[in-house]
Structure 1
Amino acid sequence: MIGTTFLHGGINEKKLVLILSCVLYLTGCVTPFIESFKSGKKYDTKWNQQCLTLTQNVDLWKGPKTISFSKNFITAESSKRVPRNLKKRGVLLKGTRLEVMKIYDTYLHGLAGNWYFRVNLNVINGRYKGMEVEIPGIYSAHPYPMFFTHKTQVVPYAARENLQPSTIIFNPEYLTECSR
């Protein structure tokens, strides 16, 4: 039996049991759903370990790793929509070579959300050699312009298997394949 002190707060025993039952039920149903958000699936693609070259200077940002951003992030110098939690770290110069480290997905916006691709690159030369950076894509939290697109831009929760990493195309305004 629940103590009378608690019941004087305006919640009777029946309401409390109903609330607790709903919370327990939802926790059981939602937990697997929430767990799938935490880990992005990494994809093997034709781009794995491919070398790309910057075709213009880009801004380098640093911030806390979040569901929306990796620790280091690059944007076009013209980008106006950079999140407040990112601080400018420097500039990656035109001609900097980058290697595709990983292509993975992220889910955003709860039950009505979508899966998005994200791409991280390793800086091969220059001042920031060895640093892993994320590039902006269709992922809605990222600033514009995009550095890559793909055929399956937005994929609803239940259709994750419809993501097509083989259709990723890097924006030639910012990235081209390295010349040999």
Structure 2
Amino acid sequence: MTQQPLVIVGGGMAGALLALLLRHHGAGRVVLVENHPLSLPESPPLTPSFDARSTALSAGTLSVLGDLGLADAIREHAAAIDTVHVSRQSRLGITRISAHEEGVDQLGAVVENRWLGFVLLGALFADKSIQVRAPETLSSICRVEGGYQVSLAGGEVLETPLLVAADGARSKTREWLGISAREHD
């Protein structure tokens, strides 16, 4: 009997990293469904998730990426965070944290999302047990005993014990599952 894949909807930073982490921790097969085209890029991609903005990665996140063998590649195009200054305009109190005082090389790093995507997608496509379905969308989700039945717009039907909605703030997957969300500015 073939093991059911774990299904992640959303191939941005959260979905891509989760797919890699699930495999690293023993998941047999992972299917990643993303509505934008994803391919093994020759250069950093430009997609809504992997754009020209930058992301600050904490030291803990860099450690996790290191466990996956990706931290060195990410650091190639990242700026180290040596000091963090926390304050609020017109309020009392500030704090500063420095890597030197904490006894660490760096508190984190800032990396352009395009480069982060380049590294993550390279690792995704290198793992033959991660199947990337992109561009692809879900057409329906049905709760079944032991998990979910997911129908893709292209006609494929998957049964999974774990369905992850990583398709962003306005997640269609979350809505279909009846999971509420509250927003406030």
TM over 0.5: no
Larger of the two Rg values belongs to structure:
1
- TM-score w.r.t. the length of structure 2 is 0.22
Q: Which has the higher contact order (CA 8 A, sep 6+)?
A: 2
